């Protein structure tokens, strides 16, 4: 299948799809997974600030200001900004511990609940309702169903609000810890 992001179709000749290998990490963010699977950021899933900024601009069409903000936020909250490493999945030994001489806590990666991935996620089960790590196929299909109904199957800015709203309403109704 092809994904259309703005005016860019993926895969393209410079960014072919390659499934992750056994040592590669993937996480809850479809955009980061897409960028790793197509080589916009390191295919290992262990990335750095510059790759994040480039990948968001080139693959996702984000402006420089938003790309820099999100990369800085991700590095600060979920990664190791001193070592310039971030896991797009969970904690990983390739991302050094924080603190003096690496003696502090391990960075949680993007999988750390309520640091990046939150309840009412577009593609993950709420933590209060079960395992929030694997992709929830039902939620994934719901996202595309809404896009089909509203925008001919294209996920862009015109459908992200209704998709997010549907997930928020579902979480509020079913998750007692929401």
Show pLDDT as tens, one digit a residue, over the chain (178 residues): 455 555 677 788 899 999 999 999 998 888 899 999 999 999 999 999 999 999 998 888 888 999 999 999 999 988 999 999 999 998 999 999 887 666 677 788 887 777 667 888 888 899 899 888 788 999 989 988 998 999 888 877 788 899 999 999 999 999 999 8
CA–CA dist 62, 17 (Å, integer)? 21
Are 56 and 34 in contact by the 8 Å Cβ rule? The answer is no
What is the pTM for the complete model shown? Answer: 0.75
Helix-strand-coil percent breakdown of the chain, rounded to 5? 40, 10, 50
Phi, psi of 3, deg, nearest 5: -110, 135
Q: State how far the alpha carbon of 154 is from the alpha carbons of 6, 33, 145, 146, in Å.
A: 10, 19, 10, 10
- pLDDT value for 135: 82
Are 121 and 132 in contact by the 8 Å Cβ rule? The answer is yes
Task: Provide the angle, in degrees to the nearest 10, between the axes of the packed helices 49-58 and 64-78.
Answer: 140
- pLDDT value for 61: 83
CA–CA dist 81, 30 (Å, integer)? 23
CA–CA dist 144, 163 (Å, integer)? 9
- pLDDT value for 17: 95
- pLDDT value for 101: 66
């Amino acid at each position: 299948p092809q994904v259309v992001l703005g005016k860019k179709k993926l895969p393209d000749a410079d960014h072919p799809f390659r499934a992750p290998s056994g040592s590669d990490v993937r996480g809850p963010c479809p955009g980061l997974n897409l960028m790793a699977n197509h080589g916009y950021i390191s295919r290992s899933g262990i990335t750095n600030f510059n790759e994040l900024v480039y990948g968001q601009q080139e693959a996702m069409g984000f402006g420089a200001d938003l790309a820099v903000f999100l990369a800085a936020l991700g590095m600060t909250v979920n990664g190791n900004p001193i070592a310039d490493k971030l896991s797009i999945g969970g904690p990983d030994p390739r991302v050094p511990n924080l603190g003096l001489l690496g003696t502090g806590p391990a960075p949680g990666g993007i999988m750390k609940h309520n640091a990046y991935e939150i309840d009412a996620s577009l593609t993950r089960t709420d933590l209060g309702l079960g395992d929030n790590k694997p992709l929830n196929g039902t939620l994934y299909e719901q996202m595309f169903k809404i896009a089909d109904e509203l925008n001919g199957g294209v996920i862009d800015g015109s459908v992200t609000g209704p998709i997010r709203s549907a997930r928020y309403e579902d979480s509020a109704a079913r998750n007692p810890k929401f």
